[in-house]
Amino acid sequence: MTAAEDPSELRMRNRKIVQEQLEKAYNVVDGLIRKSYSRHDMETTSLLRDLRTNINNLLPEVRSSGLDTFHSRKGTLDAFYAAEDSFIASSESFYHAVTASIEVEKDIDVFKLQQLLTALQRNLRERIPVSDDVAKEFNIRTGIGVVSEPVKETSPTIEAFGIRRETAINAGTASSGQSMGMSVGSSSSNVIIEPDGRELTPHLLADLYNYFNLLEQKYSTNHPEISATDVYIGDRKWDFEKGDRYLKGNIYDSLFSRTMIFYTVFKPYDDLKQIAGSIQKEADRVPSGQYLSLCVVGVEWPEDIMNWAASFFHLRMSLFIYDLGTGDLCFNKDLKISNRFAFWHNRDQEMSKLYDRLLILLQEYGSISIIEAAKELELEQKSAAEYIKKLLKAGVLVDVGFGEHRYALSVSELKKVGPKE
């Protein structure tokens, strides 16, 4: 590096570059999957699907500076620059290798692509944060006499994990988070309902951080599988962004077309009329073809608000009310869709996977038809058929029907899952 560059700006710009390259690589791999599938190369197709899953799992970590402190290490300014160079170089190597695979008619080296992606993940986690020492060294090296408070990309991280003291964030300090999709404050277009920035007692503040940390972990390791219209979405693009006192997850039909949003925000209300009007306004804004799962977080909710939330219904929105003090999640439990989406707002850490539910049925009944699978798994019949077809091609299921198609676990899958307990 010929000249010292502001560490905060460099770190944010590099993260954005890598995010864009990973998103493009995801789409390329998606095309390679279709290409290998059309050639009936099932082994390569399976390996590419694993690669696509790994990219999808890495993307939230790249987007979210809130995960930095789990892996970051301390270092000097020169070590910081070296780590950033390695980060960018590994991303470019992976992206170029993926795009080069488009020209390969067969024998795509998926193993090499997995190795390059692993190297990128390692270099992401070995980045050095812009600590006070790194910022000071930069100011000394560039001859800046007055050391102003640097715009730290790690500010959302520290805020999110409850390490720094609660302070108001203004538009100036929020710019770093916004440029990385980490929406902070009222100037962001990413928020649905503006988070409340009131001061909290240390105890409640810690509970708030812990709650959002738990959600972030869940969003990083799980993927929604069934939509509000009973369509299988386990293979759709899924990402999330964490801002100051809010978290938003998105399901896409294509690269930019969102069909589902999960939004959790700290926004206490004391007045039923006020919250009812605000929520109704947001519900009416949800366009046709999209669904919003909204959770409003507060403390000691009034009884009339809890009763209202427990009976809330809207065609394109589920509503949840979370009490920070008690840990209770209130919603309309009579609605199938709200029960389906409660996991994305509650404190449960284990998600009921679609395959696990199917496995229980198959262990109980031995075989199942498409119509039975659709009913038991709460999928529309077309989606159930597509899901069963995926499992057939993967060798998980076999057709054992005579006249009527019925599906059972394959011998190899039976060996994996073992006998019913």
CA–CA separation, 372 and 9 (whole Å): 55
What is the widest separation between alpha-carbon atoms in the chain?
A: 84
Last residue of a domain, one of 317, 344, 371: 344
Within-domain flag for 169: no
Considering 132, 153, 170, which residue would you say is the last residue of a domain?
A: 132
Average pLDDT, the chain: 82
Task: Give buried/exposed letters for 234-252 (b at 16+ CB in 10 A, else e).
Answer: ebbbbbbbbbbbbbbbbbe
- Which residue carries 């395959």 as its tokens? 355
Instruction: Report percent pLDDT > 90 for the chain.
Output: 50
Is 226 a member of any domain? yes
CA dihedral 90→96→102→107, nearest 10 degrees, is -50
- Identify which of 175, 291, 160, 293 has the alpha carbon closest to the alpha carbon of residue 216: 160
211 and 98 assigned to the same domain: no
Given a cut of 80, is residue 4 above it in pLDDT?
Answer: no
Assess whether 309 and 400 both reside in one domain: no
- Same domain? 332 vs 233: yes
Answer yes or no: is pLDDT of 370 > 60.
yes
Q: What is the total count of domains within the chain?
A: 3
Tell me the two tokens of residue 51. 């690669």
Whose CA is closest to 357, among 269, 232, 205, 196?
232
**One domain for residues 208 and 338:** yes
Confidence of residue 35 (pLDDT cuts 50, 70, 90): confident
- Which one, of 350, 65, 68, 323, lies nearest residue 211 by Cα? 323
Structure confidence at residue 263 (pLDDT): 97
Q: Please report the sign of the dihedral spanned by the C-alpha atoms of residue 384, residue 385, residue 386, residue 388.
A: positive
Residue 126 lies in a domain: yes
**Does residue 175 form part of some domain?**
no
User: Does 297 share its domain with 382?
Assistant: no
Give the lowest-confidence range in 27-41, 109-123, 214-228, 330-344.
Answer: 27-41
pLDDT at 68 over 60: no
Residue 153 vs residue 259, higher pLDDT: 259
Question: Are 269 and 279 spatial neighbours (Cβ–Cβ below 8 Å)?
Answer: no
Please tell me whether residues 209 and 335 are part of one structural domain: yes
The helix/strand/coil state of 241 is strand
The answer to whether residues 214 and 310 belong to one domain is yes
Say what the pLDDT of residue 182 is.
33
pLDDT of residue 87: 92
β-sheet bridge partners, residue 293: 262, 318
pLDDT the model gives residue 74: 72
What is the tens place of the pLDDT at every residue in 81-134?
899 999 999 999 999 999 998 887 677 889 899 999 999 988 888 888 888 888
257-281 pLDDT per residue, tens:
789 999 999 999 999 999 999 999 9
Together in a domain, 125 and 211:
no
The residue range of the domain holding 105 is: 7-132
Residues 217 and 277 in one domain: yes
Decide if 334 is inside a domain.
Answer: yes
114, 132, 150: which is the final residue of a domain? 132
Q: Do strands 258-266 and 246-252 pair parallel, antiparallel, or not at all (unpaired)? A: antiparallel
Same domain, 385 and 409: yes
In terms of Cβ atoms closer than 10 Å to its own Cβ (0-12, 13-18, 19+), residue 420 is: exposed
* Identity of the residue numbered 233: I
Q: Is residue 257 part of a domain?
A: yes
Helix (H) or strand (E) holding 88: helix 77-100
| Same domain? 309 vs 361 | no
Beta-carbon contacts of 177 under 8 Å, excluding residues fewer than 6 positions away, are: 65, 153, 155, 156, 183, 184, 243, 244
With respect to residue 174, please indicate whether it lies within any of the assigned structural domains: no
Instruction: Say if residue 301 is in the same domain as residue 225.
Output: yes
Q: Per the domain annotation, does 57 fall within a domain?
A: yes
